[in-house]
Amino acid sequence: MIIKCQNLTKRFKRATKEAGLLGTLKSFISPQHTLVEAVKDFSINIDKGEMVGLLGPNGAGKTTLMKMFTGIIAPSDGEVSVLGFEPFKRDIEFRRKISLVMGQKSQLWWDIPAMDSFLLLKAYYEIKEPVFRERLDELALLLDVTDLLTTHVRRLSLGERMKMEMIACLLHQPEVLFLDEPTIGLDVVAQMNIRNFLISYQKQYRTTIILTSHYMADVEALCDRVALILNGQGYFDGPIAKFESLLGRDKFVSIIFSQAPNKLDPIWEKLFPEWSEDSTRVELRISEDNFREIASEVLSKYPVLDFSTDKLPIERVMKSIISKPELVGRS
Amino acid sequence: MAYKFNFILMVIAPVLVFYLVKYNIWSSIYALNDLSIIKNYTLQEMLNYQAWSMVVAFLGLAYINSKVSEDIRMGRISAFLLYPFDFWKFHTGSFLGFQLTQLTICLFTVFALLMSGLVEWASWIPLLQGIVISLEVGVLWFILMFSIALLSFWMEETWVLRVMLITISQFLSGSIIPIDLYPQWLQSILAYTPFPYLTFVPIKIFMGQGEYGFLSSFFIILFWIIIAFFMLKVIWNKGVKLYTAAGI
């Protein structure tokens, strides 16, 4: 077991202040705090070579978990071990074997070319010159950034910068890679490039990868397994296929009409419709049992231009669970 | 181009401008009061003193690391907690690199001052001794600045404390007014603090004034470095325990 985590809890003391001048004076004389449980009784075990997606809305506790896994902060209660180390002790050997990429925060130095940052990292991780050159050439080629290594980081586009961040975090070939929203803010092509790179890298090196992302496409493309965290607590932990089928074997149907249909028709009531602005397009969730009947009724009643079906996208599953966590219960 | 201007404005200009201000102030004080000597200082000796003060400032007191505070406040210290290379090692390396640049600037400044006659040439030995003592002061100053910056673990803004230390140091270290012009009671108190060793003593060594012994000064500054280092370690250990990476 690469990562073992049992009843992990993290509490923060958060300062509060009433608005306005009076609030400021009160806070100066007698500061108030609330105790926030960012993570509560979270447990997970991850094996070598797994790719696990940590899903959850903003404020769920995903990043706090990542911080505890990497030793940036210490847990309040519970136990966690990564590669046999207690992360918060920040053993030098532990730090050599892990890496964390933060999509919202660059680790590279802005005012120098990425190559200079890589040379600094080479010194930090004590990577031998021929090994460093070989890895750098391979990674730069895979990510198609060989010509950009001597450009100042501040002059790179966001996608190019993220590729450099990837290189920076993989130069020392970590055994465990933590990715905190690695594709945030990137365009579709750049996201796809990063995903494809991670898939081929992981296949080659069997790195254990833990990923948090708001883009379901990341999770669907990269992860074998998802763990859902809501309000600091674990709600689901299992294969991604099981997560997708969590709400039954519903079909996801997308219909385009030549004319906007009657939105008040009771037929739409139990189908969770999401209408486009001009109401000529709708996305529905139809149970497999009723699919034929409902599909025939819609096709006969309304002028349909296009009708397509797919399995329920993971976003819809997430949305439903977030609004009704009791659908899955605690893991 | 931006980096070149930044370098000149941040590294060279403050010290140079401060020297020019002091040059004009002291020239005016002597002229307006029709003085030829204040205590043991003629105008030439006072201007000599201020020129060496600039040299000491370049080597010993130029390092002001605001990046440490920013790294802590913005949560960027998290990256250093992940690397197998400690945060303090990185900043020490940064300081040593900075000092190398400062040494070049200092040597150029000394050459320019000697050529222009703004300082009097004693001999090679006081010059080398002055450089060594100033570099040692630089280490002490780095530790003091780093300690203040680490208070960012507890405080939102530490720049005020930094400015306070710089301002107090400028008066009590002899950067603006030579310490031997102060009342005797103040000089006696200051002798038990590190302040005179930040500027006054290195200047006297540069000026070849033998009563401020090189070896005794070296070991006294070393003593203050050891005290400051232990204080830094305590602050760092307590700070890291408290640290919560905000904004990651």
CATH number of the domain that residue A283 is part of: 3.30.70.260
Q: How far is B74 from chain A (nearest CA, A)?
A: 10
Instruction: Report chain A's mean pLDDT, rounded to a whole number.
Output: 85
The model carries a pTM of 0.75
pLDDT in tens, A207-239: 999 998 877 778 888 888 999 888 888 888 888
Note whether residue A323 is domain-resident: no
Q: How far is A95 from chain B (nearest CA, A)?
A: 5
ipTM of the predicted structure? 0.71
For chain A, say whether B88 makes contact (Cβ under 8 Å).
no
* A109 and A142 share one domain: yes
Residue B247, SS3? coil
Q: Which is more confidently placed, A286 or A123?
A: A123
Test mutation, A124, A152, A171, A177, chain B, max B CBs within 10 A:
A124
Question: Does residue B246 register a pLDDT over 50?
Answer: no
Note whether residue A21 is domain-resident: yes
Mean of the pLDDT values across residues B32-56? 86
Question: Does residue A310 register a pLDDT over 50?
Answer: yes
Q: How confident is the model at residue A168 (pLDDT cuts 50, 70, 90)?
A: very high
Q: How far is B122 from chain A (nearest CA, A)?
A: 42
* A54 and A192 share one domain: yes
Mean of the pLDDT values across residues A105-130? 89
Q: How far is B81 from chain A (nearest CA, A)?
A: 6
Note whether residue B179 is domain-resident: yes
Mean of the pLDDT values across residues A259-274? 87
Which of A180, A187, A163 lies closest to A69 in space, CA to CA? A180
Residues 125-164 of A with CB under 8 A from B: 125-126
CATH value at residue A122 = 3.40.50.300
Give the residue numbers spanning the domain of B87. 2-242
Instruction: Report chain B's mean pLDDT, rounded to a whole number.
Output: 85
Q: How far is B22 from chain A (nearest CA, A)?
A: 35
pLDDT value for A127: 93
Cβ neighbours of B248 in A, within 8 Å: 63, 66-67, 72, 102, 104-105, 180
Q: Which is more confidently placed, B229 or A252?
A: B229
Note whether residue B44 is domain-resident: yes
CB atoms within 10 A of CB A72: 25
Phi, psi of A209 (to 5 degrees): -125, 130
How many structural domains compose chain A?
Answer: 2
* A233 and A137 share one domain: yes
* A235 and A284 share one domain: no
* A221 and A286 share one domain: no
Tell me the C-alpha distance between B22 and B52, whole Å: 12
* A217 and A302 share one domain: no
Note whether residue A72 is domain-resident: yes
pLDDT value for A22: 81
Note whether residue A325 is domain-resident: no
Which residues, in sequence order, are bridge partners of residue A8? A42
Note whether residue B9 is domain-resident: yes
Question: Does residue A302 register a pLDDT over 50?
Answer: yes
For chain B, say whether A33 makes contact (Cβ under 8 Å).
no
The DSSP annotation for B131-157 comes to HHHHHHHHHHHHHHHHHHHHGGGT-S-
For residues B31-58, one letter each, b for 16 or more C-beta atoms within 10 angstroms of the residue's C-beta and e for the rest, the string is eeeeeeebeebebeebbbbbbbbbbbbb
Looking at A4-13, A45-54, A249-258, B11-20, which range is the least confident one?
B11-20
pLDDT in tens, B95-127: 998 899 889 888 888 888 888 877 776 688 888
Highest average pLDDT, of A189-193, A313-317, A323-327, comes from A189-193
Give the residue numbers spanning the domain of A152. 3-244
Is residue A210 within 8 A of residue A54, CB to CB? The reply is yes
Note whether A71 contacts B82, CB cutoff 8 Å: yes
Cβ neighbours of A125 in B, within 8 Å: 83-84
Q: Angle, nearest 10°, between helix axes B66-73 and B124-150?
A: 20
* A44 and A165 share one domain: yes
Question: Does residue A27 register a pLDDT over 70?
Answer: yes
- CB-based contacts of A64, cutoff 8 Å, min separation 6: A10, A38, A39, A73, A232
Residues 10-49 of B with CB under 8 A from A: none
pLDDT value for B36: 79
* A213 and A108 share one domain: yes
pLDDT value for B160: 85
Is residue A65 within 8 A of residue A211, CB to CB? The reply is no
Q: Tell me the two tokens of residue A257.
A: 């009409």
The percent of residues above 90 in pLDDT, for chain B, comes to 29
pLDDT value for A45: 93
Mean of the pLDDT values across residues A302-321? 74
* A149 and A69 share one domain: yes
Note whether residue B133 is domain-resident: yes
Q: Which of B81, B245, B247 sits opposite A90 (nearest CB)?
A: B81
Per DSSP (E only), the strands in chain B are: 37-38, 41-42
Residues 66-105 of A with CB under 8 A from B: 66-67, 70-73, 90, 92, 95-96, 98-100, 102, 104-105
* A122 and A32 share one domain: yes
How many structural domains compose chain B?
Answer: 1
Looking at A58-67, A240-249, B67-76, which range is the least confident one?
A240-249
